[in-house]
Amino acid sequence: MDIISILEDKKHGRALSREQIAYFVKGAADGSIADYQLTALLMAIRLNGMDARETADLTMEMAASGNMLNPDVGGTPVDKHSTGGVGDTTTLVLAPLVAACGGKVLKMSGRGLGHTGGTIDKLESIPGMRVELPEEEFVSIVRRVGCAVVGQSPQLAPADKRLYALRDVTATVDSVPLIVSSILSKKFAAGAKAIVLDVKAGSGAIMPTLDASIELAKAMVSIGDHAGRKIVAVVSGMEEPLGSHVGNALEVKEAIDILSGRAAGPLKYVSLFLGSQMLVASGVANNEEEALTKLNSALESGAGLRKLKEMITAQGGDCRVCDDVSLLPKAPVLYPVKARQDGYLSHVNGTALGLAAQRMGAGRISKTDKIDPAVGFVMEKRIGDFVKAGDTVCTLHAASEQNAKETEQRILDALTFVSDPTPKARLLYALVKPEGVTELND
Ligand code: URA
Ligand code: CA
């Protein structure tokens, strides 16, 4: 077998055999195939696709390219994964809530990528928090506390690490077989037995249309189901940031505010919906209604917030931030961005807002950049809201007056106002199960 004949086959749109797939995945993981040949293959897959059998084989070979965990966490290990969004802090809300209801949340998260935030960067804004834990410690925290959130271990699915880095810089991210295999190989390797996927649709999402997001969700559910996992996908809206806060410490604060009962809104709503799917998928609740009742009572009793404190303490962090959010890093400059005209907010460019946060220092431009945990912004208006000229639409938390002024125009450019009333953005579109697709209304 050789890489050139594999390239030749995929160039002509022919299906690759399991052996061919195993050959190039091994070459990706051990470095024996060059970057230029891998990227040519990635582009051929992006253009000519893969059928369901090839996608399943690719997923399994990538999962097996490193360690495969089979952790004993004292219950069904459940994971949730979002395809990436802006102001999308559901993990920090639902991991402790699901744990408070008896779930075992084994969560490996990423760092920020491009315009999207990463849960690991957010958690690191909590003083002392450790996000790189040895496997045994990670598993023992899940067993004892019920949840732990750590960075992706380099020993898991190493083929994905190499392929993902190449895709990011060769315009080959938006391919269904490549996304499915990338996400699910990591979940399988980490030992998740129940998986809830949050597939985003809208202006800040990885796939360009709602139909494409539903196709991606169906492909992932089908592969997960065939691999014997309990799996469902929620297709949710990303027309604007889900929470009002964008930025690392700001998003931690918003999650704490929700768990403390001080804040509500779309982030809470979508987190509870995803959490209910996790409880059902892992067998802790018999149905969605029972799951929602459990989650709401964990929220109201403060059990969810107490779980977050336990998890932070177990991971070496200062859990006093949960009682006093002023202990989180704070930016020196607060700067209101004001509307220039009257109108209804009709459209938000989610990608542009994510990039504005990245430019403020909340994300990285190059891989080695250090992020500033304190900076970001709070959106004061949502799609459908009416604003008057001079109203504050967004409050910047900036490192300097100069940076705030530079960011102001980027924020205004990302917002579209119209004179006629416009509806709110949809939060939930569809629930995809192995049995079929159900449309959701919120
Ligand atoms: N997240 C991943 O981990 N992989 C992808 O391909 C896309 C999103
Ligand atoms: Ca993410």
Using DSSP, state whether 117 is helix, strand or coil.
coil
Q: Which of 10, 46, 81, 230 is catalytic?
A: 81
Query: How far, in Å, is the centroid of ligand 1 from the Cα of 182?
Result: 6
Query: How far, in Å, is the centroid of ligand 1 from the Cα of 49?
Result: 17
Q: How far apart are CA 264 and CA 304, in angstroms?
A: 15
182 is catalytic: yes
Model pLDDT, residue 169:
83
167 is catalytic: yes
130 is catalytic: no
Q: How far apart are CA 97 and CA 420, in angstroms?
A: 40
> What are the per-10-residue average pLDDT scores of the chain (442 residues)?
97 98 98 97 98 97 95 95 86 97 92 77 95 93 96 91 89 93 95 96 85 96 96 95 95 98 96 98 97 98 98 98 97 98 96 92 81 96 98 98 97 97 96 97 80
Domain boundaries, the chain: 3-49, 77-325+427-439, 330-418
Test site for ligand 1: of 55, 152, 179, 220, most ligand atoms within 8 A of the Cβ: 179
One-letter amino acid at 2 equals D
For ligand 1, say whether the CB of 118 is within 6 Å of any of its atoms: no
Query: How far, in Å, is the centroid of ligand 1 from the Cα of 106?
Result: 18
Model pLDDT, residue 150:
93
Q: Relative to the CA of 167, which ligand 1 atom is closest? A: 6
Report the topology of domain 77-325+427-439: Pyrimidine Nucleoside Phosphorylase; Chain A, domain 2 (3.40.1030)
Residue nearest to atom 7 of ligand 1 (CA): 179
Query: How far, in Å, is the centroid of ligand 1 from the Cα of 184?
Result: 9
Q: How far is CA 162 from CA 35, 74, 184, 433, in A?
A: 9, 33, 16, 30
For ligand 1, say whether the CB of 84 is within 6 Å of any of its atoms: yes
Q: Which of 88, 160, 257, 372 is catalytic?
A: 160
Domain at 3-49: CATH code: 1.20.970.10
Model pLDDT, residue 206:
83
53 is catalytic: no
For ligand 1, say whether the CB of 183 is within 6 Å of any of its atoms: yes
- Helix 303-314 crosses helix 248-259 at what angle (to 10 degrees)? 140
Place of tokens 């080695």: 368
User: CATH homologous superfamily for 330-418?
Assistant: Pyrimidine nucleoside phosphorylase-like, C-terminal domain (3.90.1170.30)
Model pLDDT, residue 341:
95
115 is catalytic: no
Parallel, antiparallel, or unpaired for β 386-387 and 194-201? Answer: unpaired
Model pLDDT, residue 86:
81
Backbone torsion region of residue 361, taken as left when φ is above 0, otherwise alpha when ψ lies between -120 and 50, otherwise beta: left
One-letter amino acid at 403 equals N
Which of 413, 47, 56, 385 shows the shortest CA–CA distance to 220?
Answer: 56
For ligand 1, say whether the CB of 346 is within 6 Å of any of its atoms: no
Q: What angle do CA 379, 383, 387 make, to 5 degrees?
A: 75
Q: How far is CA 56 from CA 39, 50, 101, 167, 342, in A?
A: 20, 10, 33, 19, 52
Q: How far apart are CA 101 and CA 291, in angstroms?
A: 9
Q: Relative to the CA of 179, which ligand 1 atom is closest? A: 6
Query: How far, in Å, is the centroid of ligand 1 from the Cα of 315?
Result: 26
Model pLDDT, residue 113:
67
Beta bridge partners of residue 105, listed in sequence order: 78, 147
Which helix (H) or strand (E) segment holds residue 29: the answer is helix 18-30
Which helix (H) or strand (E) segment holds residue 378: the answer is strand 376-379
Model pLDDT, residue 84:
80
Place of tokens 């939060």: 427
Please check whether the two domains, 3-49 and 77-325+427-439, share a CATH topology.
Answer: no
